[in-house]
Amino acid sequence: MHEFLVAAVAFIVLVGVMVVVHEFGHFAVAKLCRVRVEAFSFGFGPRLFGIKYGDTDYKVCLLPLGGFVKMTGENPGEEAVNDPAAFTSHPRWQRMLIGVAGPAANFVLAFVLMIIYFGWINEVPAYEVRTTTVEWVVPGSAAAQAGIQPGDLIRHFDNVDNPTWEQVFTRMTLDPNMTVPVAVERGGQTVQLALAIPAELKGDDLVGMLPQYMPSPIGVQEVMPDNPAAKAGLRAGDAIVTVDGHPFHTVSTLLAYMQAGQGKPLTLVVERNGALLPPMTATPAKLDTGYKLGFATVPIPFRHDPLPLAKAATKSRVFCSDGSLLIVQMLERIFTHKVAVSQLSGPVGIARVAGEAAEMKGWYSKFYLAGEISLNLGILNLLPFPILDGGMILLLLIESVIRRDISTNVKERIYQAAFVVLMVFFAFIIFNDVTKLPIFNHLKP
């Protein structure tokens, strides 16, 4: 119940802000073009309260899921021909400018959010491994079948040279069910490999390749009583140097190793008070979420390293350009059937991710998600599909080419058909989201 409430509140806040900013873009340019705006609403449904200033009713409505702007004569069938302040009475270029303003506001929001993050926060690990080094490979996984080994340094992945781990994982999401070239440095030599990425990526390890993020051993902050770790002799303050001879550095790698071992006993080499203890044996216990030892790790220490404004602006620009390119590439691969539509997330998926980001320590995940959602909203609204801003702009461009207005009846039918298609697609995305929830995992093979 707690997770549901956090996810619901995070979703309402996140999407509410994004949509209101989007609508404010339309509102601001409409006002500049002297189009009458009848309502600027936060939320939908019955009006709760507000204030009317000039021609506009600034109001808050019952359902806090975004908002809308109502301009005189903007919808088919309600054109006000003799009203100079109506939307349809203005030149087509002004109407197109109003249509573009909403997505543009989302791009500006993403850019400003990331400038704030990089310029005033910029969390970086106090200690980190800056190379793309593979810490461990799950036996039998796609990475293992490709020949990737622990200790390999990734020098090329797909079409990226010297990639970061973030770039590696990004390319994976774009290339499901495809084979990509990978070059690794091993023992001072370059080895050329081919990685077959599964059609559906699952879990934190994705293709079975665990990254090395930290140089230090796994630190133990707390040991739960009557659990395998406590029975083996592990104590708070210990550091796990090796597991069955493997020098693991993060608990995610240890968890993946335990799942692959299906509960087999582990030999731990532990450092305590600067000295190595004799090897101890711990047998993982199987819980609902997998095999565990029963201890909490020391949180990865972070420090704030704010960047100068110019560098923050550059990093924000790169974030927006890379994020936008990623969205466009994903849409292109969906339309060309290289990626399944089931890879998309809708309101339920966004709410789940928003809830997880809200409960994570630090600010990066929160700013990153907000920036990505804002970019998504901007780009998706520019698609040339009726009802969306891009569809309206397309119809205006067609009218400009043929030098006359498309009849109201034709527009109404286009919008009605588009609405039905959009609702069916929306229902499919929600169904797809729901089936991805953990509660349905036991129904999957």
Residue numbers annotated as active site: 23
Cα separation, 134 vs 150, in Å, equals 5
Instruction: Name residues whose C-beta falls within 8 Å of residue 280's C-beta, 6 or more positions apart in sequence.
Output: 232, 233, 234, 267, 268, 270
Where does residue 244 fall: left (phi above 0), alpha (psi -120 to 50 degrees), or beta otherwise? Answer: left
CB atoms closer than 10 angstroms to residue 35: 26
Any idea what the Cα angle at residue 100 is, between residues 47 and 110, rounded to 5°? 80
Give just the sign of the alpha carbon dihedral 57, 59, 62, 65: positive
Cα separation, 176 vs 173, in Å, equals 6
Q: How large is the angle between the packed helices 364-381 and 92-120, nearest 10 degrees? A: 170
Cα separation, 26 vs 96, in Å, equals 10
Per-residue exposure over 405-420, b if at least 16 CB sit within 10 Å of its own CB, e if not: eeeeeebeebbeeeee
Q: Shortest CA distance to 84 belongs to which of 30, 37, 34, 38?
A: 34
Q: How large is the angle between the packed helices 364-381 and 309-335, nearest 10 degrees? A: 50
Provide φ and ψ at 66, rounded to 5°. Answer: 90, -135
Strand partners, 422: none
Q: What single-letter amino acid sits at 199?
A: A
- Residue 49's SS3 state is strand
